[in-house]
Each structure stands twice: as structure tokens, then as C-alpha cells.
């Protein structure tokens, strides 16, 4: 079982709580550490050392070779079984944790032939290397400039898009205000037309009423006739100073005027 850092303090605390000075001393004594006693361990329980033969890889058979995966680090065969420490039945239970995969070593370039380099050749190589470094730096600077130009172009495009959106927004606001103003003007115009029509109707009604009153007055005035001269009355007799006199009794119905 692999105990991680998160659980190790709990296990250690449990062990420290269970440990006593006497048990610690007994443990050192039983194992022969203190006091030193080489015969304290029963050698009949030890497995004979058998690792020497696995240091040399067999070329005839690979049954005794312990290999690991280069990717995940897991064992192809259980090394405890290979070394004879546990039986095959326990190989699925007592399996060592995977080891860290070893990086593959890069193969060195082999020089197949030798050559003599003169001072001129060395200078030529140094010049070529210097030119390559200059080209490399120029390429880096050029890429930086291109990246900067791309960023500036992107920023400019974003600003143009933002300005366009703001302009469109202002135009929409202006159109909305213009539509509202037109709507108010139409409403005012309708109100004025309505008032004008009402005024015209009122004037027509007054004229009609006035005409009706005039006709009624004329008819009423024409009803009167002088009992002496027989002249009928006019609607403007009172305005001209002509007064009419008559009896208020229904049985009489006779009228007279000044003239």
C-alpha cells in the first residue's frame, strides 16, 4: 500500500501514540541493533541472496530478465516472482509500484571520417555561423514586427468596429428622435385641424342659429300688422326706433306703431 503525504502524519501519530519507551527498547533489542547481537535474527527465516545472477543479462533466455515499460514504468513481469521471493499465486497482490520511466538516451553522432581544417576554413565556418546568427536574429525581429503590426491592425479594426457601432447607435437614436418629433408634429397638426374643424362647425352652427333666429324674428315681426295702416312690422323696427304697442289680451290681438 502506498501511503501519500496526506495520510502519513495520521499513521505516524497513531504509531507514536502506541509506542512506549519499553516497546522501543524491546524493538531495538529483538532486532539486535542495541545492544548489538548478530544472532538475534533467526537466519533460517532468511532467503538466500540470489540477486547476483540477475545483474548479468542472459542472452539465451529472457525468463529471468526484469523489464519495465518505457512509457508508464510498470513491470512486464513481477520482479518478486522472478527473484523467487514470492510464489506466482501472489504476483497479482504483491506487485511493486511502477518505477519512473527512464528517458531514452539520444544517440551520439558518429564521425565516420576525419578532415583537416585550416585557418581559412575555420574563419569561413565562423563567418557562416555569424551570418546564420544574424539571419536568425533578423528573422526574430521580423516576426516581432509582423506580430506587432498584426496586433495594431487588430486593434485598429476593433476600434473601427466600435466607432461604427457607436455611429449606428447614434443614428438609431437620431432616427428615433426624428420619428418621435414627426409623431408629435402629426399629433399637433391633427389637434389643430380638429380645433379648426370644431371652430368652423361652431361658426356654422352660430351662423345657422343666427339665421334661424333672424328668420324667426322676421316671422315674428311680420306677424304684427298695424291696425290703422296695415303695414307689417320688420325685424329691425326696434333698432330704427319704431315702437309697437298692443293689447296683451288674447281676445284683442291689435297692434299699432308710432308712425
For the chain, the domains span 1-46, 59-102, 224-259
d(CA 49, CA 11): 32
d(CA 51, CA 84): 10
Residue holding cell 316671422? 219
Confidence label for 114 from pLDDT (cuts 50, 70 and 90): low
Confidence label for 226 from pLDDT (cuts 50, 70 and 90): confident
Report the share of the chain in percent with pLDDT over 90. Answer: 24
d(CA 225, CA 253): 10
For the entire predicted model, the pTM comes to: 0.28
> Is the four-CA dihedral 165, 166, 170, 176 of positive or negative sign?
positive
3-class DSSP assignment, residue 54: helix
Residue 255 bridge partners (DSSP): 226, 246
Residue holding cell 512506549? 20
Nearest to 123 by CA among 113, 131, 135, 134: 131
Amino acid at each position: 500500500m502506498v501511503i501519500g503525504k496526506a495520510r502519513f502524519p495520521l499513521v505516524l501519530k497513531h504509531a507514536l501514540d502506541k509506542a512506549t519507551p519499553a516497546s522501543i527498547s524491546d524493538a531495538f533489542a529483538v532486532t539486535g541493533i542495541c545492544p548489538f547481537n548478530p544472532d538475534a535474527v533467526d537466519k533460517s527465516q532468511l532467503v538466500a541472496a540470489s540477486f547476483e545472477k540477475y545483474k548479468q543479462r542472459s542472452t539465451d533466455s529472457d525468463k529471468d530478465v526484469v523489464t519495465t515499460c518505457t512509457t508508464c514504468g510498470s513491470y512486464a513481469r513481477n520482479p518478486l516472482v522472478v527473484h523467487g521471493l514470492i510464489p506466482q499465486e501472489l504476483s497479482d497482490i504483491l506487485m511493486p509500484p511502477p518505477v519512473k520511466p527512464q528517458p531514452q538516451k539520444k544517440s551520439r553522432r558518429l564521425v565516420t571520417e576525419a578532415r583537416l581544417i585550416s585557418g581559412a576554413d575555420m574563419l569561413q565556418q565562423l563567418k557562416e555561423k555569424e551570418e546564420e546568427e544574424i539571419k536568425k536574429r533578423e528573422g526574430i525581429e521580423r516576426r516581432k514586427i509582423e506580430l506587432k503590426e498584426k496586433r495594431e491592425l487588430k486593434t485598429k479594426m476593433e476600434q473601427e468596429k466600435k466607432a461604427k457601432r457607436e455611429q449606428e447607435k447614434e443614428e438609431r437614436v437620431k432616427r428615433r428622435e426624428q420619428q418621435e418629433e414627426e409623431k408629435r408634429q402629426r399629433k399637433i397638426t391633427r389637434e389643430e385641424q380638429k380645433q379648426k374643424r370644431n371652430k368652423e362647425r361652431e361658426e356654422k352652427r352660430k351662423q345657422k342659429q343666427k339665421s334661424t333666429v333672424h328668420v324667426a324674428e322676421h316671422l315674428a315681426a311680420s306677424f304684427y300688422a298695424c291696425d290703422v295702416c296695415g303695414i307689417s312690422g320688420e325685424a329691425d323696427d326696434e333698432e330704427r326706433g319704431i315702437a309697437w304697442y298692443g293689447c296683451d289680451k288674447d281676445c284683442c290681438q291689435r297692434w299699432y306703431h308710432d308712425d
